[in-house]
Amino acid sequence: MSTIKSSAENLTLNADGANNDVIIQSNGSTKVTVDGATGNVGIGDTSPYESLRVAGTIKIAPANQTGTLAFGGTANADVHIGVFRGAANSLSAGNSLNLAGYDNITFSASSAVVGSQTERMRVTANGLTFNGDTAAANALDDYEEGTFIPKMGDNSTTMSNVVRASYVKVGKLVTLDIDVQTPTYSGANPHYIMNLPFTTSVASNGGGAVGYVDESDVVPAFHITGASTTLYFLNLRTGGTYNLSNKRVIFSVTYHIP
């Protein structure tokens, strides 16, 4: 058994001479390196490029225990946490940094000194909350962008030409941006556009603006029925519905989902 022991004073490990490293080995394998030129410490890394670099699998806080992993920077300097692979100081594609907390993960920012941080964002089981707000109802739980295929009133006939049919979903709020040329249509419900990407909530009827219809004597409006994926057009000038057969329509709409 090999030991180094100091019971009454500090223990100093000194690699005398310029730029000589301090190396800790076990069974002939290097475990910790203190770079003599930079002072950087590498655990599982013999050429650390940061103040502290831990290579390989990192496990903090075994089950039912607590633990802290701290990263510190010099004054007025940013602290970067990353997953590095390959060339020095290189963030490689396909390498993810995963943060997990048993309950929450909190992020704070301070313009003063350590100890006076203000919470800016928290990751909870309900989503993202901001500025110390932890209410489940106020958590942002989803953001999504995409496209969809709008269809005519029988939910099977596709549009003749879809210039644009996109959506942005932020939490429970969905915004659609649609520019379509409808086919010549003689089926039932010629004023319906169906196959919206998300079902509306029961209480939501949606709203928005019509940018263009290719018919002069029309004051257009539209309505989304609750708990459905159906939107129908109205002609406010006549008080009836607006026949979408063989028409160019451009509009946007925002509605809530459950």
What is the model's pLDDT at position 180? 96
pLDDT at 139 over 90: yes
Spatial distance between the Cα atoms of 178 and 208, rounded to a whole number of angstroms:
11
Distances, alpha carbon 147 to alpha carbons 2, 38, 109, 142, 244, in Å: 66, 52, 36, 16, 21
Considering Cα of 182, then 158, then 174, then 205, what sign does the dihedral take?
Answer: positive
How is residue 124 written in tokens?
A: 């909870």
**What pLDDT, in 10s, does the model give residues 101-118?**
778 887 776 554 444 567
CA dist., res. 240 & res. 243, Å (int)? 9
Q: Does residue 257 carry a pLDDT above 90?
A: yes
pLDDT band at 163 (very low <50, low <70, confident <90, very high): very high
Write the CB contacts of 221 (distance below 8 Å, at least 6 apart in sequence): 210, 233, 234, 235, 236
Q: pTM to 2 decimals?
A: 0.67
CATH number of 145-256: 2.60.40
| Domain ranges in the chain with CATH number 2.60.40 | 145-256
Q: What is the mean pLDDT of residues 146-165?
A: 94
DSSP letter for 136, please. Answer: G
Share of the chain above pLDDT 90, in %: 44
pLDDT band at 254 (very low <50, low <70, confident <90, very high): very high
DSSP state of 151: B
Query: Which residue has better confidence, 121 or 174?
Result: 174
